[in-house]
């Protein structure tokens, strides 16, 4: 079995070296990772002689340039990081914060991330950032070159952290923020997933009944040359329509979905009307508003705590909240703050935020603890989101069951009644 010499960073930041036996280099890294070690150098040895160097400072492979080019091209048209990229960046941020907090230099910390990366594209990303740092580029400027991975919020917080000399604490705050937003997104998606699954299953069941079961039974009834009840005639007509025009139905759904997506993605007046409608929707509107308020307060608190100026913080926040109504209200607050007013006054007058949020922000501004107050508001709303999500599911579930039961019940009734009449003859 091959033997590997390694150098790694322990959780406390201390440098550790030694040997590990493993079948492959990947197995060696896995064993070291299980010991909570961040590998910075790993070399296969035989008889005390180094055979292969794969440390963080080794030469880059000949396909490096093409890989970077592909990465840039893939991200060039991106509107921002997706959920996978955000999850990866969250883990990278936590690791980098731990290394920097342990007193390890930024360049060495990035080298550890390069060696620790499990995906090729992540390794390429970290390597390119490290090379920028080695050439004297500011970390925030280097991150800004990768909009497919790092949002303006991330870049500006890093820039503020570097200027204040507390980059490690800012990165820790960033990692907490990203994890919190990920948890919030999961709550919203989780609340919507179950109803959508029920709708999908119900539509499949009804489609199978209408396309397969109903035609066979109605054919048998028609062969009896008996007048069908009105309910059965309606069912037969619906079944024939579905069999003949199913493609038009699916095409219509696809076109409507496409138009809806285009209107919503453009972010114009169409999206504003849709978001207004969603916020006014019973139960669901309450859930979406609480999620938007939580995102607003948490983002603004995180930016202000990191030293980002208030105007810039509001500008970044308005592009994070998601809902167009809340976004426009945030933009109005920013404009008023630029004119010299406080945050609370336009916040209360906007009508987009619950009145308690405006009053709590006012208290925070008056006491000089705005960041802490925003954090408290976000925490409170995060807890309320779970309750709102459960309430949304509990209200929608019986409604959907009643609707599906009514549809299936009508189909069964329309089929069973003529069968019973035939049996009486």
Rounded distance, CA 67 to CA 75, Å? 12
Q: Which has more pLDDT, 205 or 47?
A: 205
Average of per-residue pLDDT across 255-270: 79
- Output the furthest CA–CA distance in the chain (Å, rounded): 97
- Round to whole Å and give the CA distance between 414 and 405: 14
Model confidence band, residue 250 (pLDDT cutoffs 50, 70, 90): confident
Q: What is the pLDDT of residue 91?
A: 85
CATH of the domain at 111: 1.20.81.30
Identify whether residues 124 and 36 lie together within a single domain: no
Does some domain include residue 375? yes
- Average pLDDT over the chain reads 79
Same domain (yes/no): 298, 415: yes
Domain enclosing residue 74, as ranges: 64-150
Q: What is the mean pLDDT of residues 354-359?
A: 88
pLDDT of residue 301 exceeding 80, the answer is yes
Q: Which residue has the higher pLDDT, 73 or 420?
A: 420
95 pLDDT higher than 60: yes
- Are 108 and 47 found together in one domain? no
In a domain, 173, yes or no: no
Cα separation, 57 vs 114, in Å, equals 10
- Residue 54 is predicted with a pLDDT of 42
User: Does a structural domain hold residue 135?
Assistant: yes
Beta bridge partners of 6: 18, 42
Three-state SS letters, 254-314: HHHHHHHHHHHHHCCHHHHHHHHHHHHCCCHHHHHHHHHHHHHHHHHHHHHHCCCCHHHHH
Q: What is the pLDDT of residue 13?
A: 60
pLDDT score, position 53:
40
Counted residue by residue, the chain has a size of: 425
100 in the same domain as 204: no
User: 247 and 107, same structural domain?
Assistant: no
Last residue of a domain, one of 150, 170, 193: 150
Residue 160 lies in a domain: no
Span 351-374, average pLDDT: 88
pLDDT band at 80 (very low <50, low <70, confident <90, very high): low
pLDDT tens-place string over residues 181-230: 888 888 878 777 878 888 888 888 888 888 787 788 777 777 777 777 88
> How far lies 132's CA from each of 129, 142, 170, 394, in Å?
5, 6, 21, 52
For the segment 308-321, the average pLDDT, to the nearest whole number, is 84
Total domains in the fold of the chain: 3
Worst-scoring range by mean pLDDT, 50-64, 89-103, 135-149? 50-64
Predicted confidence band of residue 246 (pLDDT cuts 50, 70, 90): confident
Looking at residues 264-283, what average pLDDT do you find?
A: 79
Check whether 75 has a pLDDT greater than 70.
Answer: no
pTM (whole model) above 0.85: no
Residues 304 and 399 in one domain: yes
Per-residue tokens: 354: 């619950």
Q: Percent of the chain beyond pLDDT 90?
A: 1
Under the banding of pLDDT at 50, 70 and 90, the label for residue 234 is confident
For the chain, the straight-line distance linking the first and the last C-alpha, in angstroms and rounded, comes to 85
Whether residue 139 lies inside any domain: the answer is yes
Domain boundary pick from 14, 31, 53: 53
Whether 175 maps to a domain, the answer reads no
Backbone angles phi, psi at 63, to 5 degrees: -95, 10
């Amino acid at each position: 079995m091959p033997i590997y010499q390694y150098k790694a960073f322990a959780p406390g930041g201390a440098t550790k070296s030694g040997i590990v036996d493993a079948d492959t280099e990947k197995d060696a890294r896995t064993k070291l990772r299980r010991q909570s070690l961040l590998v910075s150098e790993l070399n296969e040895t035989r008889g005390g002689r180094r055979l292969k160097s794969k440390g963080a400072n080794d030469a880059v492979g000949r396909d490096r340039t093409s890989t970077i080019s592909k990465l840039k091209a893939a991200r060039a048209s991106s509107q921002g990081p997706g959920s996978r990229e955000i999850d990866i960046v969250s883990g990278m941020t936590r690791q980098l914060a731990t290394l920097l907090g342990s007193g390890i230099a930024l360049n060495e910390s990035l080298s550890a991330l390069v060696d620790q990366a499990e995906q090729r594209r992540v390794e390429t990303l970290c390597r390119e950032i490290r090379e920028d740092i080695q050439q004297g580029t500011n970390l925030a400027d280097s991150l800004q070159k990768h909009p497919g991975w790092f949002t303006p919020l991330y870049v500006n917080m890093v820039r503020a952290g570097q200027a204040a000399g507390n980059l490690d604490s800012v990165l820790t705050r960033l990692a907490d923020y990203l994890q919190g937003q990920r948890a919030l997104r999961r709550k919203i998606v989780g609340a919507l997933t179950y109803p959508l699954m029920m709708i999908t299953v119900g539509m499949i069941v009804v489609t199978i009944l209408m396309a397969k079961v109903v035609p066979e039974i109605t054919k048998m009834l028609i062969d009896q040359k008996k007048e069908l009840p009105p309910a059965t005639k309606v069912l037969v007509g619906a079944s024939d329509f579905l069999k003949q025009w199913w493609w038009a139905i699916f095409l219509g759904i696809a076109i409507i979905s496409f138009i809806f997506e285009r209107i919503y993605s453009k972010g114009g007046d169409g999206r504003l009307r849709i978001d207004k409608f969603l916020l006014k929707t019973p139960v669901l509107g309450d859930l979406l508003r609480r999620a938007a308020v939580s995102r607003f307060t948490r983002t603004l608190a995180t930016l202000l705590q990191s030293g980002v100026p208030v105007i810039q913080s509001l500008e970044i926040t308005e592009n994070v909240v998601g809902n167009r109504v809340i976004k426009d209200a945030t933009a109005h607050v920013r404009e008023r703050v630029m004119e010299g007013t406080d945050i609370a006054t336009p916040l209360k007058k906007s009508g987009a935020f619950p009145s308690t949020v405006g009053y709590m922000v006012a208290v925070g501004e008056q006491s000089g603890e705005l960041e802490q107050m925003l954090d408290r508001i976000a925490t409170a709303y995060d807890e309320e989101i779970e309750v709102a999500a459960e309430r949304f599911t509990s209200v929608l579930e019986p409604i959907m069951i009643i609707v599906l039961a009514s549809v299936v019940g009508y189909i069964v009734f329309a089929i069973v009644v003529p069968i019973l009449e035939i049996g009486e003859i």
